[in-house]
Structure 1
């Protein structure tokens, strides 16, 4: 009987270590036993920061299912133990552990190969755009400070809006910490590409998986510029189709918000797109060649310091940033129109780090 009880205690300790509940809420009478991640080789370690949110939860599920993920760290300031308990019941090989609150940010990030950041808050009634920016910018700054300290060589995928500003914020924070490597910092604009591929496929009547539409610029409104002249498979669109597709791709987020009637925003499609981009990063880290994605990165393709374009990703990060390629008149005009807004967003992010707004009393 004593031997059976001892075995039961060991099993329960192993379960507790996987759930990694906060100290104050740990399972009574159980000491955590260290567990070994047993994912598929090479077994990359991935952290999702903002894992309990509307994007974070489905994204965490998709990463838990990924065969290249051996250890999955889920971090948030609320409800992480519940998300971890739920995900830990899925019979995939990745070990999932949860971390709650600022005190556990360091352990959540230590040793990570890939960090995905969907953390942030949606705009609420009575909240100005500046209020929203200051909150999300502050969240990203804190999380990137943690990355700089605990996993400076990790690939960092930023989803938190406004991406046009949060990526420059991350870059400045990493520079101040002396660990900035522009090849490893990505603004995830994959949702724009996913939408473009889907909407174009509807127009030309093919499988969306066979369509590839480059999307350049940024990740908000008119800064999102689908390059329909370079679509694969090659297709000639009418002016009316170009206007329809460009408008729908640029305003896809609004379409979802309106369809949800004020109850939410694009969470499932964003989680899907983020997982697609994360998969490309993991494949590149594994050593696979020829991984090409659109992403918002430090760039010299234009005079702007950050710009979304196609990049080739390898084990050390970005290996090549592709030029915009041949554009038609409409697309050249679109790039010139987006530059002032994108420049302003970049400057706003840089200024936030070096001249932070005063805290409200």
Structure 2
């Protein structure tokens, strides 16, 4: 199933849920893991905005699976336990909009230049890798559940008042020219307490961001325009 297929199936699901949420629980924290996340988060925000109930600090696109995958692949390559790795992943949550920041990995690792392109592409296309491994009989399920649980747990830690809870997630943003963007944010009692931005990245990663933005903006516009057409 392509992301266009997913949009056709899921856009109305997200719209319906958020129409109900505007009446029943407009102040809830919403964590959207429904694909295509790049379009579904804008759909949710547009629905809330139509009802004058939008609080963008409480609507999150869950892109944690990209971080989990990057941590795993880098850990395997560099001989580090993936549980101890933290590779920020910014941009969006599909294809070339996924931008892993290997230069910002902790603990610091050295990725050979001749392996950088392949590793980046593997993170970007990991979902397709899973589908192929299952020979078309499914997609990422357990790893998606793990990523969703990790992000939800971080949200709850922030709501409880724990300090320095930071996750990469896809939110309404003015960090780039795209209206929505994933990067590290500080979570807290308000939901999104502070957008931490992209931070320092190297030339290779800047090039990835520049390539990601046109596609990301197109996918955002698809969601926004769809709501306006309803």
**TM-score normalized by structure 2?**
0.97
String of CA shifts for 1:299-321, please: whole Å, max 9, x gaps: 11111110000000001110111
SS of alignment partner, residue 8 of structure 2: helix
String of CA shifts for 1:265-314, please: whole Å, max 9, x gaps: 00110000000000001111111111100000011111111000000000
Q: CA deviation at 1:130?
A: 4.1
Name 2:229's counterpart in structure 1. Answer: 355
Residues 255 and 154 of structure 1, relative CA distance in 2, 3 Å threshold: same
Structure 1: distance between partners of 2:105 and 2:29: 28
Can you give the 5+ residue segments of structure 2 that lack an aligned partner in the other structure?
A: none
Give the structure with the larger helix fraction. Answer: 2
Is 1:217 the counterpart of 2:91? The answer is yes
SS of alignment partner, residue 261 of structure 1: coil
Structure 2: distance between partners of 1:233 and 1:246: 18
Name 1:281's counterpart in structure 2. Answer: 155
Q: CA deviation at 1:210?
A: 1.0
Name 2:144's counterpart in structure 1. Answer: 270
Task: Indicate conservation of the 8 Å contact 2:6/2:36, yes or no.
Answer: no
Name 1:90's counterpart in structure 2. Answer: none
SS of alignment partner, residue 353 of structure 1: helix
Can you give the 5+ residue segments of structure 1 that lack an aligned partner in the other structure?
A: 1-122, 357-361
Is 1:227 the counterpart of 2:101? The answer is yes
String of CA shifts for 1:118-155, please: whole Å, max 9, x gaps: xxxxx3xxxx7545412210111001111111111110
Structure 2: distance between partners of 1:209 and 1:335: 26
Q: CA deviation at 1:216?
A: 0.5
Is 1:186 the counterpart of 2:60? The answer is yes
Q: CA deviation at 1:186?
A: 0.2
Structure 1: distance between partners of 2:191 and 2:154: 11
Name 2:77's counterpart in structure 1. Answer: 203
String of CA shifts for 1:215-234, please: whole Å, max 9, x gaps: 00000000000001111111
Structure 2: distance between partners of 1:246 and 1:239: 11
Q: CA deviation at 1:177?
A: 1.1
Name 2:22's counterpart in structure 1. Answer: 148
- Structure 1 counterpart of 2:195, from 321, 325, 343: 321
- Structure 2 counterpart of 1:310, from 181, 184, 194: 184
Q: CA deviation at 1:249?
A: 0.5
Question: What value does the CA root-mean-square deviation take over the aligned residues?
Answer: 1.1
Structure 2: distance between partners of 1:130 and 1:191: 20
Structure 2: distance between partners of 1:133 and 1:212: 30
Structure 1: distance between partners of 2:223 and 2:131: 25
Name 1:62's counterpart in structure 2. Answer: none
Q: CA deviation at 1:323?
A: 2.0
Is 1:134 the counterpart of 2:19? The answer is no
Name 2:115's counterpart in structure 1. Answer: 241
Residues 243 and 130 of structure 1, relative CA distance in 2, 3 Å threshold: closer
Between the two proteins, the alignment pairs up a number of residues equal to 230
String of CA shifts for 1:158-200, please: whole Å, max 9, x gaps: 0111000000000000001111001000000000000000110
